[in-house]
Chains A and B, each alone.
Chain A
Amino acid sequence: MFATLTNELREMALEQVQFRELLLQITLRDLRVRYKQTIMGFGWAMFMPLVNTAVFSVIFMRVAPLDTGMPYPLFAYCGLLTWNFSAAAFRFAVTSLTGNSNLVTKVYFPREIFPISSVIVSFIDLLVGSLVLVGLSVYYRVPPTWMLMVLPAVLLVHVCFTVAVAMILAMANLFYRDVRYLFDIVLTVWMFSTSVLYPMSLVGGKTGRVLALNPMTPIIDAYRNVLIRGVAPDPSFGWTTGVTVVLLVMAWVAFHRAEVSFAENI
């Protein structure tokens, strides 16, 4: 049982290596198409979280002041930027299979390429948007610390978690188109259940204990810890890492097994 699973995982990984050129080209295609015939181009990747940061800064600094232990714009931008990476990847991945039905029904290649390329495209936006974060850090005089060395680990867990959910969403929407609509609602609720705009520690009681299970909160908190506070991620980050590993293996294997029936069910 375990041996067959290992074999399957190896085969899946080999397939990705074999088709890496296609992953690159599909990603390039999505990147080019995304900002074709726009004037701002990649500027949009910075603009959207900046506007949101400004709006929420007014709310949480003037209307209902909030103590976050750091300048609020920095807190909000860091949360929005990293959350938006996942949210954009999910939004993109949901329709990535159904939107490419002509390829899915006409050409054979590993279908994982579509959700994975959705994640990569959004990741580029994250990189572009992080320039603003650097700017804000300089403005608020937040010095870089040795904790930056932990950043790659945080990114890795974040990307893997996003890939896992993206695969599930893409596959689910292929079989049931309801997923796309349902997902819009879920994404909004999910964002307000994550420490994007306010620390989750403020939510106490039973609700707080349930929300503590949300694997996205430790990821976003970990970014703030290593980038701004200069401390190690909270212990809850371990929980998220565990969830991510299990989820990624399950999602990928499920995707791989369902893949053969995509063409006739799309």
Chain B
Amino acid sequence: MSQPAVMFDGVWKKFRRGERHDSLRDLIPAIARGVLGRRRSNDLQDEEFWAVRDVSFEVQPGQALGIIGPNGAGKSTTLKLLTKILKPTQGRCEVRGRAGALIEVAAGFHPDLTGRENVYLQGAIMGMRRAGIAKHFDEIVDFAGVHEFIDTPVKRYSSGMNARLGFAIAVNLDPEVLIIDEVLSVGDMGFQRRCVQRMREFKRNGVSIVFVSHNLQAVADLCDRTVHLNGTVRCVGPTTDVLDDYLRCDPTASAEAPTTARVSIRAARLTDRAGAPVAEVTPGTDLTLSVTYGVHGPTAGLTFGLILHRSTDGLVVYDANFEPGEIGMTSSAAGEMVVDYRLRANVTRGLYHFECHVFDDATQTFLHRFNPAAKLTVHEERTWSGIADLSITPCGRSIPEQLLTATSGF
């Protein structure tokens, strides 16, 4: 195996809570303490805390590593350690090759300078030479789409124009390692798509990528391996496994049932056709989602919903409602009832979960929402991205030459 392009080896980073002594008045006591007390760098003083604890990972050339985790988990600190903006308290981090960092796309812009002047300034900040910037200048302006405003000070730009120009400069640099923090969160959909496309191109060309994002779908699309950070490494491995681990500790998912409801959902179970519980399948597998309803009153006027979400971004993949008659819930007798929703998992690789609910048409309210009712992980290596599995079977045919000349006449 080749040498890793990015190496993070047992890195610890300590920060201080609140303000440090910013005024000379506090300097003298601080020096006195420093002289008298022998401080060891790996002991925590008052008001100090570990932002990053014992984090290790590697990225091979051409690989993309995702970093996910809740706010304050140390993601940005990790990136700043990688880009040498911060120095680790302990441990070693190393980036081999020229690193391009997109921690904030327009960080170096000066509001009083024109777009043109800022392109050269920002390019130099990213380590490009004047000639290199000049060569890409038209490309940059094209990509950003700011032709007519290139000689206007950027303080008169809209925030979208600012972001586009910043990103356009960044994607035209020629890095060996790309370190990206949440650039996807600025800009519109077209911009985000261009952004992801460009990163894939980089990856194909052997550029290593470290990608921090809250956009889990983008992480799932782009990254081979992912680290789940929470101060320390909670989980590291193939992206699907790590995302699953991350979604599991999402506190917003709840499944509590109101006991007073006319109809509530007691349980849900995902099985294959033979009745064995499953959670991981390949596309096109026949499955059964068995939902147990508790019935305490009349079911007329109720709607029973079944939704499939993609877990990484909450996208609704499938959403259908059923009348009581359709699912055989005609009796108004109290008790429990099981409905088997037979389905085929015609979706591509990813993490999904089912939601079941009971809706009252008369009051337009949910009697019960059961989410997540069941989890489903789909594995396959065929598709590049997307959701629907079209079960495509390509088939090539050769066309006889005389037929070709006959039809090409029109």
Contact A103 B22 (CB under 8 A): no
The residues of B that contact A25 with a CB separation of less than 8 Å are 120-121, 123-125
Contact A107 B103 (CB under 8 A): yes
Q: Which of B84-92, B273-281, B314-322, B387-395 contacts A (4 or more CB under 8 A)?
A: B84-92
Residue of A nearest to B120 (CB): A25
Residue of A nearest to B14 (CB): A264
- CB within 8 Å: A-B pair count: 79
Give min CB distance, A111 to chain B, whole Å.
11
Which parts of A33-53 form the interface with B (CB within 8 Å)? Answer: 33, 36-37
Bound CA span A175–B121, Å: 27
Contact A261 B87 (CB under 8 A): yes
Encode contact with A along B36-53: 1 for CB under 8 Å, 0 otherwise. 000000000000000000
Bound CA span A264–B87, Å: 9
Contact B22 A36 (CB under 8 A): no
Which parts of B107-125 form the interface with A (CB within 8 Å)? Answer: 107-108, 110, 112-113, 117, 120-121, 123-125
Contact A176 B22 (CB under 8 A): yes
Contact B108 A176 (CB under 8 A): no
- Tell whether A10 is near chain B: CB-to-CB under 8 Å: no
- Tell whether B345 is near chain A: CB-to-CB under 8 Å: no
Residue of A nearest to B104 (CB): A106
- Tell whether B33 is near chain A: CB-to-CB under 8 Å: no
Bound CA span A241–B124, Å: 34
Which parts of A102-154 form the interface with B (CB within 8 Å)? Answer: 102-103, 105-109
- Tell whether B27 is near chain A: CB-to-CB under 8 Å: yes
Contact B85 A108 (CB under 8 A): yes
The residues of B that contact A33 with a CB separation of less than 8 Å are 110, 112-113
Which parts of A245-266 form the interface with B (CB within 8 Å)? Answer: 260-261, 263-265
- Tell whether A177 is near chain B: CB-to-CB under 8 Å: yes
Bound CA span A33–B154, Å: 13
Given contacts A21-B128, A24-B124, contact A32 B85 (CB under 8 A): no
- Tell whether B292 is near chain A: CB-to-CB under 8 Å: no
Residue of A nearest to B153 (CB): A36
State which size class the interface on B falls in: 20 to 34
Please pick, from A37, A107, A178, the residue contacting B107 in the complex, using a CB distance under 8 A: A107
- Tell whether B129 is near chain A: CB-to-CB under 8 Å: yes
Given contacts A108-B83, A263-B86, contact A22 B125 (CB under 8 A): yes
Contact A106 B112 (CB under 8 A): no
Residue of A nearest to B117 (CB): A32
The residues of B that contact A103 with a CB separation of less than 8 Å are 107-108, 125
- Tell whether B15 is near chain A: CB-to-CB under 8 Å: yes
Residue of B nearest to A100 (CB): B108
State which size class the interface on A falls in: 20 to 34
Give min CB distance, A103 to chain B, whole Å.
6
Contact A177 B125 (CB under 8 A): no
Contact A102 B107 (CB under 8 A): yes
Give min CB distance, A31 to chain B, whole Å.
11
- Tell whether A209 is near chain B: CB-to-CB under 8 Å: no
Give min CB distance, A97 to chain B, whole Å.
14
Please pick, from B103, B117, B124, B153, the residue contacting A21 in the complex, using a CB distance under 8 A: B124
Please pick, from A21, A28, A175, A263, the residue contacting B85 in the complex, using a CB distance under 8 A: A263
Encode contact with B along A188-229: 1 for CB under 8 Å, 0 otherwise. 000000000000000000000000000000000000000000
The residues of A that contact B24 with a CB separation of less than 8 Å are 176, 178-179, 182
Bound CA span A182–B125, Å: 32
Contact B113 A29 (CB under 8 A): yes
Encode contact with A along B1-29: 1 for CB under 8 Å, 0 otherwise. 00000000000000100001011100100
The residues of A that contact B85 with a CB separation of less than 8 Å are 105-108, 263
Contact A175 B22 (CB under 8 A): yes
Give min CB distance, A264 to chain B, whole Å.
6
Contact B84 A108 (CB under 8 A): yes
- Beyond known contacts A21-B129, A22-B125, A37-B112: 9 more, CB 8 A cutoff: A25-B120, A33-B113, A36-B153, A106-B103, A106-B104, A107-B85, A107-B107, A109-B127, A176-B23
Task: List 30 A–B pairs whose Cβ atoms lie within 8 Å, in order of A's numbering.
Answer: A22-B124, A22-B125, A24-B124, A25-B120, A25-B123, A25-B124, A25-B125, A28-B120, A28-B121, A29-B113, A32-B112, A32-B113, A36-B112, A105-B80, A105-B85, A106-B85, A106-B103, A106-B107, A107-B83, A107-B103, A108-B85, A109-B125, A176-B23, A176-B27, A179-B24, A263-B80, A263-B86, A264-B15, A264-B86, A265-B20
Q: Please list the residues of chain A having a beta carbon within 8 angstroms of any beta carbon in chain B.
A: 19, 21-22, 24-26, 28-29, 32-33, 36-37, 102-103, 105-109, 175-179, 182, 260-261, 263-265
Q: Please list the residues of chain B having a beta carbon within 8 angstroms of any beta carbon in chain A.
A: 15, 20, 22-24, 27, 80, 83-87, 101, 103-104, 107-108, 110, 112-113, 117, 120-121, 123-130, 153
